[in-house]
């Protein structure tokens, strides 16, 4: 097993179309972003946790609670780009890109990404959970993953993949295992270094799924299994639900 350092980068934009300023909204007495940062701090194998933002307000608030936070260009189109632009200052040989709106992320899941990479190497590591309902299977907002026997991702799609021929869709779950993608990524330093030069691809553009860019450019994506179901915060309703969850756990 390789011994390597691990960086966790939490991209945190203040602007959000559906819930403005969400990363700094109050969640049980703390900013939403602080909960995400604390989950990363609970990992057993993270050498550093860095908040990457384009907002002076986020920088100031994060620094105030003790986080390591840095400014990144406003022009960065996504979180992966923010992580990539920090590479010269990161200590990690493996870099996890953790979304800033996942206050219930499991530290154990993040550690499992590191374990998978340390054991098997590769370019990118991500996670999947089993799909157990037709509502999830045919929900285009829930990304599905087809996997090879070696645990590598073959394809990501908003459609239900694979298509089970000669079988009504209502019976697909009884005939085939299906997997939902969980949008947390770990990158080898080499893969993240390559990212800014990778052009957008045809499949990525069609499905609006960034991970397809890696596959189309020949990067391998390893997959770890988890039972974790993300509880992201994208709307005011999501925020209220998160508050209820935390209140019931006290």
The angle that helices 107-120 and 32-41 make with each other, rounded to 10 degrees, is 50
Stretch (H or E) spanning 81: helix 79-85
Nearest to 37 by CA among 5, 15, 59, 8: 8
Q: Where are the domains of the chain?
A: 6-125+181-249
Residue 1's pLDDT is 57
What is residue 249's predicted lDDT score, i.e. its pLDDT? 78
Taken in order 194, 199, 121, 142, the sign of the CA dihedral is: positive
Kindly state the tokens that stand for 136.
């999830």
Under DSSP, the state recorded for 19 is: S
Tell me how far apart the alpha carbons of residues 168 and 133 are, in angstroms, rounded to a whole number: 15
Per-residue pLDDT at 154: 97
Prior bond of 137 cis (ω within 30°): no
Q: Going by DSSP bridges, is the β-strand pair 124-130/221-225 parallel, antiparallel, or unpaired?
A: parallel
Tokens 């915060």 correspond to 233
CATH 3.40.50.10210 at 6-125+181-249, yes or no: no
Strand partners, 126: 223
pLDDT tens for each residue of the chain, 250 residues long = 566 899 999 999 888 778 989 999 999 999 999 999 999 999 999 999 999 999 999 999 999 999 999 999 988 888 999 999 999 999 999 999 999 999 999 999 999 999 999 999 889 999 999 999 999 999 999 999 999 999 899 999 999 999 999 999 999 999 999 999 999 999 999 999 999 999 999 999 999 999 999 999 999 999 999 999 988 898 999 999 999 999 887 6
174 by Cβ neighbours in 10 Å (0-12 / 13-18 / 19+) ranks as exposed
What was the pLDDT predicted at 166? 94
The pTM score is 0.94
Measured in degrees and rounded to the nearest 5, phi and psi for residue 40 equal -65, -35
Burial zone of 140 (CB within 10 Å; 0-12 exposed, 13-18 middle, 19+ buried): exposed
Look at residue 178 in the predicted model and tell me its pLDDT.
98
* Rounded Cα gap, residues 229 and 175, in angstroms: 23
Q: State the residue for tokens 């890696």.
A: 214
């Amino acid at each position: 097993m390789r011994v390597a350092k691990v960086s966790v980068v939490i991209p945190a934009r203040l602007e959000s179309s559906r819930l403005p300023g969400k990363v700094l909204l109050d969640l049980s007495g703390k900013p939403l972003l602080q909960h995400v940062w604390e989950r990363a701090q609970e990992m057993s194998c993270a050498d550093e946790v860095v908040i990457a933002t384009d907002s002076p307000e986020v920088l100031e608030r994060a620094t105030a609670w003790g986080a390591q936070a840095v400014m990144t260009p406003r022009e960065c189109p996504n979180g992966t780009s923010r992580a990539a632009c920090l590479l010269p200052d990161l200590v990690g040989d493996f870099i996890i890109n953790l979304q800033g709106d996942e206050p219930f992320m499991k530290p154990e899941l993040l550690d499992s990404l590191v374990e998978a990479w340390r054991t098997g190497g590769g370019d990118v590591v991500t996670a999947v959970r089993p799909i157990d309902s037709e509502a999830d299977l045919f929900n285009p907002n829930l990304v599905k993953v087809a996997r090879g026997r070696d645990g590598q991702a073959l394809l990501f799609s908003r459609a239900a993949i694979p298509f089970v021929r000669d079988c009504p869709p209502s019976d697909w779950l009884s005939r085939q295992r299906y997997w939902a993608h969980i949008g947390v990524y770990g990158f080898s330093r080499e893969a993240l270094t390559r990212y800014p030069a990778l052009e957008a691809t045809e499949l990525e553009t069609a499905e609006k799924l960034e991970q397809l860019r890696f596959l189309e450019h020949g990067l391998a994506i390893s997959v770890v299994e988890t039972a974790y179901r993300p509880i992201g915060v994208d709307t005011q309703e999501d925020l209220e639900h998160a508050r209820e969850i935390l209140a019931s756990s006290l």
